[in-house]
């Protein structure tokens, strides 16, 4: 398995593009993206658990009932959520694309991201679709990734090459996500493409399984978005024998999918609104997987822990506190906590109590841009990892006037 270039265009038979059509006032910001497969692909998706759902999710869910799709269109700058005509606008986007490119509207995934509760004018989208389609190319994954960004400061894409049955397969993805990220299902917006041949049923099983230990384990601010969605398209152009059961080929595909998803998780967490540091909480020694996952997620969600990491303060009591209120069944008197970065590792808590450590060394470790919070529950064999970021002054600044 190898990390490669190309994002959503790495897999055979996929093209993409991203343009500025006029939804966003800043003309230097792309705001409309398109990903297209040469052929109808098997498809699977997972959606936000928020009861308030963006209209595009409702339309996409209906379109994917047959497990098929050929294109993904997404706008940024407006979430098309809580609008009286939201479903109508989302469906209109699909019909406009159908008329321009000839793909059936029911084979189109539609997504939106941006401000909630603001009417979405279809005019710039209608006027932009011809340019969007005419510019489709197999080397424009970056443009598509830029077109779905909102408060993101860094582009998020990745691709992987792997082998199944003697055939080279590729899988790649792009993502957006910086704030309002606490998925409990999927995440932000993530679009994944692969030329691996895999049935819709197995694709759905793979995605639903993987998100439990990847996107569900990311949190920036504890807010679950209304528009979160992860979509995977598999067009089979690699010509491997189609994966229709949980066999060795399925396990290889799962590993490739997980590699892409973990990479995107780390990029999303590191680019949290106002963030200066990526936090990765690694929990081992859990009595069960649920315990390990609950503890890891609680630590990266703790506002006090996140603030301490921003200040490079080795305040391990905040980590223990987050574990204590997580609801997980743990023996506090067995818990060890360490901090680790490129500058080294330092033990700060042993058996639930503080130990002597160098504050200077701890500060040096925590000044790095990627911090690992290591927790050993010493109660079993289960482990889990969660991703988050520090909590900074800029997070409040960004969200204090996000709408205006």
What are the catalytic residues? 187
Rounded CA-CA distance 308/324 in Å is: 17
Instruction: Give 323-334 as a 3 state SS string.
Output: HHCCCCCCCHHH
Strands 278-286 and 370-376: parallel
Query: What 3-state class would DSSP assign to 2?
Result: strand
* Residues 365 and 345: beta-carbon distance below 8 Å: yes
* Residues 283 and 296: beta-carbon distance below 8 Å: yes
Helices 303-310 and 289-301: angle between axes, nearest 10 degrees: 60
Tokens representing 402?
A: 């996000």
Rounded CA-CA distance 95/59 in Å is: 12
CB neighbours of 356 closer than 8 A, spacing ≥ 6? none
Least Cα distance to 172 among 134, 142, 211, 217 occurs for 142
Strands 229-234 and 370-376: unpaired
């Amino acid at each position: 398995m190898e990390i490669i270039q190309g994002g959503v265009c790495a897999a055979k038979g996929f093209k993409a593009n991203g343009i500025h059509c006029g939804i966003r006032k800043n003309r230097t910001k792309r705001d409309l993206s398109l990903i297209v497969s040469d052929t109808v692909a098997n498809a699977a998706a997972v959606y936000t658990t928020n009861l308030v759902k963006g209209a595009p999710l409702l339309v996409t869910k209906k379109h994917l009932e047959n497990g098929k799709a050929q294109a993904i269109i997404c706008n940024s700058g407006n979430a098309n959520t809580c609008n009286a005509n939201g479903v109508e606008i989302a469906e209109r986007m699909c019909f406009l694309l159908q008329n321009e490119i000839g793909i059936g509207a029911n084979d189109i995934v539609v997504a939106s991201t941006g401000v909630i509760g603001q009417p979405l004018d279809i005019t710039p989208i209608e006027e932009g679709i011809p340019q969007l389609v005419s510019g489709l190319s197999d080397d424009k994954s970056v443009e598509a990734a830029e077109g779905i960004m909102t408060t993101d400061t860094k582009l998020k894409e990745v691709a992987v090459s792997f082998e199944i049955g003697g055939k080279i397969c590729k899988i790649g993805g792009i993502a957006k996500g910086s704030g309002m990220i606490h998925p409990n299902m999927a995440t932000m917006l993530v679009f994944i493409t692969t030329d691996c041949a895999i049935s819709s049923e197995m694709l759905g099983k793979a995605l639903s399984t993987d998100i439990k230990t990847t996107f569900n384990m990311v949190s920036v601010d504890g807010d679950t978005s209304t528009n979160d969605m992860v979509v995977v398209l598999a067009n089979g152009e690699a010509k491997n024998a189609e994966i229709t059961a949980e066999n060795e080929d399925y396990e290889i595909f799962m590993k490739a999918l997980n590699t892409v998803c973990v990479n995107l998780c780390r990029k999303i967490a590191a680019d949290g609104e106002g963030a200066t540091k990526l936090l990765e909480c690694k929990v081992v020694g859990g009595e069960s997987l649920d315990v390990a996952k609950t503890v890891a997620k609680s630590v990266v969600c703790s506002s006090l822990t996140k603030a301490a990491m921003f200040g490079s303060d080795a305040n391990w009591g905040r980590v223990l506190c987050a574990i204590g209120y997580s609801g997980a069944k743990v023996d506090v008197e067995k818990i060890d906590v360490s901090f680790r970065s490129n500058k080294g590792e330092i033990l700060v808590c042993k058996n639930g109590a503080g130990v002597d450590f160098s504050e200077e060394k701890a500060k040096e470790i925590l000044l790095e841009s990627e911090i690992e919070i290591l927790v050993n529950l010493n109660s079993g064999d289960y482990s889990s990892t969660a991703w988050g970021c520090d909590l900074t002054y800029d997070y409040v600044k960004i969200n204090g006037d996000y709408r205006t």
